Amino acid sequence: MILHIDMDAFYASVEEREKPELKGRPLIVGGRPEGRGVVAAANYAAREFGIRSAMPSARAVRLCPDLIILSPRGELYSRFSRQIREIFRRYTPLIEPLSLDEAFLDVSGSEKLYGATELIGRRIKEEIKSELGLIASVGVAPNKFLAKLASDHEKPDGFTVIHKDQVHAFLDPLPVGRLWGVGQSAERRLLHMGITTVKDMRKKSSDFLEQEFGGIGNRLWQLSHGIDDRPVVTDSEAKSISHETTFVADITNLETIESVALALTEGVCFRLRDAGLLAKTVNLKIRYHDFSTVNRSKTLEKYTNGTLEIWNTLRQLISDLLANRSFSVRLVGAGVSNFGENKCLETDSTGQVDLFTNFVEKNISGQDEQKQDQLDRLSDEIRRKYGKNSIRRGKSF
Ligand SMILES: [Mg+2]
């Protein structure tokens, strides 16, 4: 069985925890409406007004004039993300993060020690709540595809188990749009054929689906039967790490795209450092309103895990692609690949080699986990001491 753990309204919940006086009031974390910002996260009070993440902040304010808008604090969320991951690590090293607030866990190796996957899921949910004051929704299922659907099933504060003999009953009523790989155009075609639920799709043969949908046809058949053989892949085994955002409304200005891409980059770089990796290639993905997608990459001369260097590279890719022209963008993705292991401590964990190398080297050598941890705290200290501006990127959302 696989666990999928997904924090509820993560950024917004962290802010509510830090500022209890705001708890229960509609709030978003995101860009200013007058600066053409977008919503990065909305708490549940804000969602009652129809506000969703990736929506323009200006629209969110129209929906709820009393909305509280907070600027994102990437470092704060990364810190909580690290603490959440430390709770996961009590039970397994097999963690596949999908973002700062979401991960698959394979705990099958720990079942002898801690009990069935379901029990471990309950413990993790409880420990996140009691130690960090945050709520996670948990899905427990035979594979990744089902576990992700399960964690979403009773969100927020959900805990859903899908046992092997319940798979069809769980999947059958779901609309086909919930299956991975079914985008808007595939969904329209399926609906047109009278295939509206997973049950309708399950009745079709694999041949039929392949004929109609080509390469993804077989996968659709498998998913509709609840089959998904993909293993849990940790960041250190992965070939790339990337985050992406699909906008609620198409974005036509560079500033918004840059600010969202920067936030994505910070998350990606956190995961890179957390996995003890360095990367050489920076990847940009842009999808336009007509669903055409372009990928652009740049390979650096040296390996790095520094947010600033990776961001500068990505920003150049964005500007080469989009500056001085008109565009309408639906999705932006930031990623890194071409990994090398972070064997020597040339960099502190924030990747700010130039400024802090000496300081860090003097204080720390070796790289067991405890030291790495110490190093992280140290770099946070440095950051506080020497000011955020030395590290903060020019734009915050
Ligand atoms: Mg979440």
Q: Tell me the CATH number at 47.
A: 3.40.1170.60
Phi/psi of residue 115, each to 5°?
100, 180
For residue 133, give both structure tokens: 């004051």
Q: Domain span at residue 29?
A: 10-73
What pLDDT was estimated at residue 343? 57
- Do 323 and 247 share a structural domain? yes
CA 135 to centroid of ligand 1, rounded, Å: 10
* Amino acid type, 73: R
Query: How many Cβ atoms are within 10 Å of 194's Cβ, its own excluded?
Result: 7
Is residue 57 situated within a structural domain?
yes
Could you list the mean pLDDT of each consecutive 10-residue stretch along the chain, which spans 397 residues?
97 96 95 89 97 94 96 91 96 95 94 91 98 98 97 96 96 93 86 95 95 90 96 94 92 92 92 92 96 95 93 97 95 96 52 32 37 45 41 37
Under a CB-based contact definition with an 8 Å cutoff, are residues 36 and 255 in contact? Answer: yes
Q: Specify if 118 maps to a domain.
A: yes
Q: Which residue is catalytic, options 102, 154, 244, 381?
A: 102
Q: What is the CA radius of gyration of the chain?
A: 22
The confidence score (pLDDT) of residue 324 equals: 92
Contact (Cβ atoms closer than 8 angstroms) between residue 147 and residue 3: yes
DSSP 3-state assignment of 99?
strand
Q: Which of 1, 229, 233 is nearest to 94 (CA)?
A: 233
CA 315–ligand 1 middle distance (angstroms) = 26
Query: Tell me, what's the pLDDT at 291?
Result: 86
Domain boundary among 73, 102, 121: 73
CA of 298 to the centre of ligand 1 (A): 30
Residues 348 and 365 occupy one common structural domain: yes
Residue 229 included in any domain = no
Instruction: Tell me the sheet residues that pair with 282.
Output: 298, 336
Interatomic CA distance for residues 372 and 379, integer angstroms: 10
Q: Is 102 considered catalytic here?
A: yes
Structure tokens at 41: 């996260």
